[in-house]
Amino acid sequence: MRYSTILGIESSCDDTAAAIWHKGKILANVVAGQAVHEKYGGVVPELASRAHQSHIVPVTDQALNQANLKIQDVDAIAYTQGPGLIGSLHVGGNFAKGLSLSTGKPLIGVNHLQAHVAALYIETPNPVFPILCLLVSGGHTQLLLVKSYMEMEIVGSTMDDAAGEAFDKGAKMMGLPYPGGPLIDKYAKLGDPLKFKFPEGKVPELHFSFSGIKTSLLYFLRDEKIKDPDFVEMELYHICASYQHSIVDYLLKKTRMAIHKFQPGNIALAGGVSANSQLRKDFLNISKVTGIPALIPAFEYCTDNAAMIAAAGHYLLESGHTTDLGALPFVRMGK
């Protein structure tokens, strides 16, 4: 192993993170969130860039301190090259490049979505390929067929909103702060998932659509509030449970179709929405029924983190990739 200690840096959206990967173990995994967006109901890109600038040095220092290392001790610097918010990517990318330039350590730019998949290898270094991975985050919803560590094909993807956006925008309609996914998860535990019905998206094959379900929540709340202005307050737990149930059911219906089609060796969850307790529980049930082992990352590796960036960096470096100082960030999938 040429690259046994890797510093990972993540700044694609609204979390500033740094982590140390060492021979397959995570020695430090530091994440600074950005409360500044809460009151806006979504991430404000310019505020995110500024918060990354103030967080990135202390977060990296903290990761090195926790791992008991100096910057000279790392073998390479991995950072999120994209996709993400352009300003946020620039902050992490330029910081990583500065570190690489001043220390002479190799640099590796990582695709954030591939890194969500690499998060699986932290706890399962020897999975059974191909892995069928349901990647569900605030920006993406995809079914990926992972053929080897960093080789993957998108076999299904959302045509409009991501699953995380459906959670967050739904939460906003109910008057909950951003990001609403974890709150819907929390309140759903206290409600009846079958009390209300929200129709699933109608797109073919393994693709997804969440705009319909979101719009149906919007009109449902509007109509009910006309009848009773306190409707959301009174029924919050049931609305959360039913809305979550509709999203999770839809995600898993498509996942079952993909399992049938590809007969994978492992099935896996990745991305922030995989922290959802209903999704995790039902996903394990699918594993039980099909007999295909499920890989579900620990919470800290599901939501955005730099441990997954360092892990992805390791696999890319070992297969001969490095990134030069002139590399630009990319905003969308596929460079």
Residue numbers at the binding site for ligand KG4 (CB under 6 A): 13, 137-139, 164, 167-168, 179-182, 185, 271-273, 275-276, 303-304
State the DSSP code for 222. Answer: H
Q: Is cis: bond before 83, omega within 30 of 0? A: yes
Binding residues with Zn ion: total (CB under 5 A): 2
Q: How far is the CB of 305 from ligand KG4 (least distance, A)?
A: 8
In the bound complex, what is the minimum distance in angstroms from residue 80's beta carbon to ligand KG4?
10
User: Does residue 304 interact with Zn ion by CB under 5 A?
Assistant: yes
Q: CA-CA distance, 149 to 130, in Å (whole number)?
A: 9
The structure tokens 């046994």 sit at 4
> What separation, in Å, do the N-terminal and C-terminal C-alpha atoms of the chain show?
28
Q: Which does 111 bind (CB under 5 to 8 A by kind): Zn ion, ligand KG4, none?
A: none
Binds 168, which of ligand KG4, Zn ion, none (CB < 5 to 8 A, cut-off by type)? ligand KG4
Sheet holding 151-157, edge to edge: 151-157, 141-148, 131-136, 266-270, 294-295
Measured between alpha carbons, how far is 48 from 268 in angstroms, rounded to an integer?
Answer: 30
- Footprint of Zn ion on residues 125-154 (CB under 5 A)? 137
- CB 137, min distance to Zn ion, A: 4
Residues near 280 by Cβ (< 8 Å), separated by ≥ 6? 269, 274, 296
Taken as a whole, the chain contains a residue count of 335
CB-nearer residue toward ligand KG4: 187 or 196:
187
**Nearest residue to the partner Zn ion, using Cβ:** 137
Kindly state the smallest distance separating residue 322's Cβ from Zn ion, in Å.
23
Return the number of the residue (168 or 200) whose C-beta is nearest ligand KG4.
168
At its nearest, how many Å lie between ligand KG4 and the CB of residue 223?
25
* Nearest by Cα to 163 from 182, 199, 185, 138: 138
Choose from Zn ion, ligand KG4, none: what does 164 bind? Cβ within 5-8 Å by kind.
ligand KG4
Rounded distance between C-alpha atoms, residue 69 and residue 51, angstroms: 25
Q: Judged by CB, which is closer to Zn ion: 135, or 259?
A: 135
Alpha helices in 163-294, H assignment, sequence order = 163-173, 181-188, 211-227, 231-262, 277-290
Scanning 82-90, 188-196, 275-283, 296-304 for contacts with Zn ion by CB under 5 A, the matching segment is 296-304
Task: Choose between 106 and 109: whose C-beta lies nearer to ligand KG4.
Answer: 109
> What 8-state DSSP symbol labels residue 40?
G
Least distance to ligand KG4 from the beta carbon of 114, Å?
12
- Residue 188 or 275 having the CB closest to Zn ion: 275
CB of 141 to ligand KG4, least distance (A): 10
Question: Residue 48 or 99: which CB sits closer to ligand KG4?
Answer: 48
Q: What backbone torsions phi and psi does residue 49 show, to the nearest 5 degrees?
A: -60, -45
- What residue 255 binds from ligand KG4, Zn ion, none (CB within 5 to 8 A, per partner kind)? none
User: Tokens standing for 249?
Assistant: 């059911």
Specify the residue, 5 or 244, whose C-beta has the smaller distance to ligand KG4.
244
Name which of 181 and 191 has its Cβ closer to ligand KG4: 181
Give the residue from 322, 253, 312 showing the smallest Cα distance to 282. Answer: 253
If one counts every other C-beta atom within 10 angstroms of the C-beta of residue 64, the result is 20
Q: Residue 136 in contact with residue 271, Cβ under 8 Å?
A: yes
The closest residue (CB) to ligand KG4 is 272
Nearer to ligand KG4, 167 or 198 (CB): 167
Q: To the nearest whole angstrom, how small is the minimum distance from the Cβ of residue 213 to Zn ion?
A: 21
Q: How many other β-carbons are positioned within 10 Å of the β-carbon of residue 202?
A: 7
Would you tell me which residues interact with Zn ion (CB under 5 A)? Answer: 137, 304
